[in-house]
Structure 1
Amino acid sequence: MKLNRHLSAAALIAVAAFTALSVSAQDIKPRTARFGFGFAEDHPAGKAAKMFAAEMAKVSDGKMKISVIGNQALGPDPQMLGALQGGVQEFYTGSALGLLGQVKELGFQDVPFLFKTEAEAHAVFDGPVGNSLNEKLNGVGIHVLGWWENGFRHITNSRRPVNTLADLKGLKLRTQPNPLTLDAFKAIGANASPLPWSELFVALESKAFDGQENPVVLMYTQRFYEVQKYMTLSGHVYSPLIFAVSKKFWDSLSKEEQKLMTAAAKNATAYQRAGTAAEATTALQGMKDKGVQVTQFSEADLQKIRDLVPPAIAPHVQKIGPEFMNLVYSEIARVRAGK
């Protein structure tokens, strides 16, 4: 077949890619799968899950049908992670901390003030640190397709503005169920306790908890402005999201199917990170528009936090493992040096 000599190089590449995908799709078996997560479906992770499902349907000629199921309809995060390991649920995105007892290295992500920017965190999770985590998670039945973004975590509460470190003292804050995080907040005077995500909104509404800490996009999509009056832009921890497939499901795929899924996952990861970045500014303004008073710690107070936290979390960092933490620190240094 002759092609018009004026056909652009981009068009030729597109034709070749479409042909390759069409040929590949002939060998794909019909499959159904579920993609579960705890976020609202309009969260950037929910949008990326839908994008991934749509792309997999396209490249498989409709043979791979992935149902996207948000709002914890398949259960809380730990339950979904267990279902992933057992092969009962095929895809998941959310916190990986439910696997902390099996992969202790996951605890590093809650070490305060590790990362300065999102781009820095992306480079670390996409490099040797992420590869090491992926290998360990593969060993417990989970194949990582990518590391998505939840964002830097900030503090909210319903009692008072938190302008200084002293304002935190006595506030009952919900944190993630990570002993490192609990001890970090206790070291700076907060009354920190874990609570399942599914119970958090009601706990804040009933004043059983004064506040919580989460990325701003998540707070906005979950309507926390209805039960919280004050926000402090602490940016104390960068929070990633694991994007994973059950290893049992992954191993049932052909090499060609795995290749197509890996490519779709890479596109979804870029899309999700970009979406989170775009929505973070909108979400922060949205919180302000809903009446939430937003403040920031001074550099002096941030330095006080940096001085108080390390001794309190040292035993936990030691448990994560010196070798792994050295890899984390060396990778951060390499990224900052532009290498």
Structure 2
Amino acid sequence: MKTTTPHSRSFPLRRAVASLMTAAVFGLGTLSASAATEMPPFPDVTGDVVQGDGNDYSLKFNIGLTQSSAQYRGLEYFKKIVEQRSDGHIQVQMFHSAQLGDDLQSVSALQAGTLEMTSPSTSPMVSMFPQFAVFDLPFLFPKPEVADQVLDGPIGQRMLEEASTKGLVAIGWSENGYRQLTNSKRAVTKPADLEGLKIRTMQNPIHLDIWRTLGANPTPMSFAELFTALEQHVVDGQENPWITIKSSKFNEVQQYATETNHVYTPFITLVSERFWNRLPENYQQLLRDAAKKMGDYERHVSRTMNDQIKEELKSEGMEVTELTPEQVKVFQDKLEPVYADWRDKIGGDLIDSIRDAAANAE
């Protein structure tokens, strides 16, 4: 287990000379910081211009995360592909930070036809698509490459097809990533450390079961409300990928973090069926192609930044605990009842097929 604590820094002062020195130090620091957080460049847009039906289309694409997230970076690439390959006949309007509603509100807007696209986490959608609960089982994917193999293979394709109902068309996967725990009370190295902590979870029954089984007090809440709730100590902690913790500035209101990698969560790219049915078939295929390329690129951004951002959080004063394999095993053993409780509800065949794929991928 490694723990990192904050460091302090001072700058010299002295009128004109000191101002120059300070400006130089500040400038170097800014360059260093921007270099450290620079996202991978966009891949080139490839493929011919897609011929439509002569009409122009505009689509609003709303996501829950901020402009500094890998998800938004992926959305920027999606816009670039769609607008370039449609020769400007499809215009993509991007909305971040749940500007047009949180995940569930966005999905409802797709069904109503008042929003064209969104890319929610699978977790809040379990009430609509019970099979998505499989992604919330703890420690299901031992590494991200295993998740890729499952999502990009027959299992993932079948789940996209099953989600293309209820006024929605599901066209691709991207990455929310492995979830990590943060809190404002104490370092967490074992389940007993969670006793009594109020942990914000998504509106998802398996997540509630996970944290309740570990001894915490899970509190479902919209992501859009989370920062204020942490700041005002309505809840003690939350769990999200490193990149989300950083981009949402949770480290400003959370002192402690534990790298648990307890759940790997994908994003699913959804289109309003009402909008989809208005598009010519060529443009439908363009959106599918762009969603696939967006997902591949967004995963690359997410993973490139993951360890880097963890180190940045440490340097900014967050106390980060990295669990040993033995410590992880204690959490896994404690959570075995969650698998037993949900096996029949999710479908044992689906769970077994993913576990088989995971075993073959390792």
CA contact (8 A) 1:163 1:295 kept: yes
Structure 2 CA distance for aligned equivalents of residues 257 and 133 of structure 1: 22
Out of 112, 122, 127, the position equivalent to 2:153 is: 127
Q: State the 1:83 CA deviation.
A: 1.0
SS in 2 for 1:177: coil
Q: State the 1:298 CA deviation.
A: 3.2
**In the alignment, structure 1 residue 141 sits paired with structure 2 residue 187:** no
Q: State the 1:28 CA deviation.
A: 4.7
CA contact (8 A) 1:108 1:320 kept: yes
Match of 1:310 in 2: 336
CA contact (8 A) 1:129 1:331 kept: no
**In the alignment, structure 1 residue 168 sits paired with structure 2 residue 184:** no
CA contact (8 A) 1:158 1:228 kept: yes
TM-score for the superposition, normalised by structure 2: 0.83
Q: State the 1:181 CA deviation.
A: 1.4
**In the alignment, structure 1 residue 89 sits paired with structure 2 residue 89:** no
For 1:320, give the aligned amino acid.
I
Tell which has more relative contact order, 1 or 2 (C-alpha 8 A, sep 6+): 2
SS in 2 for 1:94: coil
SS in 2 for 1:314: helix
Shift of the 334–37 alpha-carbon distance from structure 1 to 2, 3 Å rule, reads same
For 1:109, give the aligned amino acid.
F
Q: State the 1:313 CA deviation.
A: 4.3
Match of 1:101 in 2: 127
Match of 1:151 in 2: 177
CA contact (8 A) 1:96 1:241 kept: yes
Q: State the 1:243 CA deviation.
A: 1.6
Write the deviation string for residues 266-309 of structure 1: whole angstroms up to 9, x where unpaired.
22111111111111122112211210000123333322221121
Match of 1:52 in 2: 78
Match of 2:298 in 1: 272
Structure 1 CA distance for aligned equivalents of residues 85 and 162 of structure 2: 30
Match of 2:205 in 1: 179
Match of 1:79 in 2: 105
TM-score for the superposition, normalised by structure 1: 0.89
SS in 2 for 1:232: strand
Match of 2:40 in 1: none
Structure 1 CA distance for aligned equivalents of residues 288 and 224 of structure 2: 31
**In the alignment, structure 1 residue 254 sits paired with structure 2 residue 280:** yes
Q: State the 1:166 CA deviation.
A: 2.2
Structure 2 CA distance for aligned equivalents of residues 26 and 176 of structure 1: 40
Structure 1 CA distance for aligned equivalents of residues 52 and 223 of structure 2: 42
Shift of the 252–26 alpha-carbon distance from structure 1 to 2, 3 Å rule, reads closer
**In the alignment, structure 1 residue 40 sits paired with structure 2 residue 72:** no
Q: State the 1:331 CA deviation.
A: 2.4
Match of 2:352 in 1: 326
Structure 1 CA distance for aligned equivalents of residues 357 and 112 of structure 2: 33
Out of 220, 236, 260, the position equivalent to 1:234 is: 260
Out of 56, 70, 73, the position equivalent to 1:30 is: 56
Shift of the 312–61 alpha-carbon distance from structure 1 to 2, 3 Å rule, reads closer
SS in 2 for 1:25: coil
SS in 2 for 1:327: helix
What are the ranges of 5 or more consecutive residues in structure 2 without an aligned counterpart? 1-43
- Number of residues of Structure 1 aligned to a counterpart in Structure 2: 318
Structure 1 CA distance for aligned equivalents of residues 351 and 259 of structure 2: 26
Write the deviation string for residues 35-67 of structure 1: whole angstroms up to 9, x where unpaired.
001110221111111111121111111110110
SS in 2 for 1:143: strand
Q: State the 1:26 CA deviation.
A: 5.7
Out of 207, 217, 228, the position equivalent to 1:191 is: 217
Structure 1 CA distance for aligned equivalents of residues 210 and 124 of structure 2: 19
Shift of the 213–57 alpha-carbon distance from structure 1 to 2, 3 Å rule, reads same
Match of 1:115 in 2: 141
For 2:112, give the aligned amino acid.
G
For 1:60, give the aligned amino acid.
S
Match of 1:70 in 2: 96
What are the ranges of 5 or more consecutive residues in structure 1 without an aligned counterpart? 1-13
Q: State the 1:213 CA deviation.
A: 0.7
For 1:85, give the aligned amino acid.
Q
SS in 2 for 1:193: strand
Write the deviation string for residues 181-225 of structure 1: whole angstroms up to 9, x where unpaired.
111211121122211111111111111111111100001000001
CA contact (8 A) 2:122 2:135 kept: no
Range with greater deviation from structure 2 (264-273 or 224-233): 264-273
CA contact (8 A) 1:37 1:71 kept: yes
Shift of the 281–301 alpha-carbon distance from structure 1 to 2, 3 Å rule, reads closer
Identity %: 32
CA contact (8 A) 2:67 2:96 kept: yes
